[in-house]
Amino acid sequence: MIATIRMLAYGVSANFIDEYLRIGETTAIKSFKKFVKVVVSFFSEEYLRSPNNNDIARLLVVGQHREFPRMLGSIDCMHWKWKNCPSKWKGQYISHTRDPTIILEIVASYDLWIWHAFFGLPRSHNDINVLEQSSVFYELAEGCAAPVNYSINGNDYSMGYYLGNGIYPSWATFIRTIPAPQDRKRQHFASAQEVARKDVERAFGVLQARFAIMSGPARFFHLESLKDIMMACIILHNMIVEDEQHTYLGANDFDYDQIDDNGPEPVSHNPTCNLMQFIESHNSIRDRGIHSQLQADLVEHLWQLQGQL
């Protein structure tokens, strides 16, 4: 256990701790692999879960307080260098850089809890390719996600949204910044969006600081082992966040009664059986018209709040 934790926290190789702990290199590696597999097996259901009703209620209240009504978090990708990538795979794991890397996509909230993690695609993919293969919107498309009904600037919406950078598509479930804002309204919106979206960047930084194995090059040869290591680090990170949640901004400072409705309705865990309903949900997620309207309403909403200060 001590050898495994040291390898995760300090990013050292197995032969670095053989004399310190009197454990052979082979034994340390074997224990390390078993540890991460057990962590993923036993704790994934709780610490890699999608937001439940209580989680969504809290996220929505915090989003309202931060001037982005019904915001569920921020989404982005990072790359983990793969030192021992097999030679036959290097072509697909290298793009404009010289080193092969593996992509991690996460959704993080204000308290740095990671609600979604998708890992394993090669560097040759960009964020959009990763999004097309990830499961971030599976529950929403299948009708299993809790409804998020709200109104902004007189217009009604039925889905929450994530804050993303400029590469993400103009979908109803994403709010991006405005690249070159021309007036004060849009400049204020762009500034507020970029500030709130730093949550996911902070989550990446804290995750790498806590587990130095992620900030250095991956030394294992098998992709499955790297997936177990990544997911185990995220689970342990969420455990720490849960234990220290009282220290994060907004942990105890928000009044849940400020939501106008009665909170999210119960989640239906029965997937949509009707193909037409699935296609309709899928198209609603990718609706560019709703995206443009929501972004315009948020620009007006933030500007009105600015005028009240």
Tell me the average pLDDT of the chain.
Answer: 86
The residue-averaged pLDDT of 251-278 equals 52
Has residue 256 got a pLDDT over 60? no
> Could you tell me which residues come within 8 angstroms of residue 284 by beta carbon, excluding any fewer than 6 positions away?
159, 172, 290
| pLDDT bracket for residue 269 (50, 70, 90) | very low
* Residue whose tokens read 């978090």: 73
Residue 71: count other Cβ atoms within 10 Å of its Cβ.
26
Has residue 298 got a pLDDT over 80? yes
> Could you tell me which residues come within 8 angstroms of residue 292 by beta carbon, excluding any fewer than 6 positions away?
170
pLDDT digits (tens, 9 = 90+) for 92-116: 898 777 889 999 999 999 999 999 9
How far apart CA 219 and CA 209 sit, in angstroms, is: 18
* Residue whose tokens read 């919106």: 189
- The residue type found at 271 is P
How far apart CA 114 and CA 112 sit, in angstroms, is: 6
pLDDT digits (tens, 9 = 90+) for 185-236: 999 999 999 999 999 999 999 999 999 999 999 989 999 999 999 999 999 9
Which pTM value belongs to this model?
A: 0.88
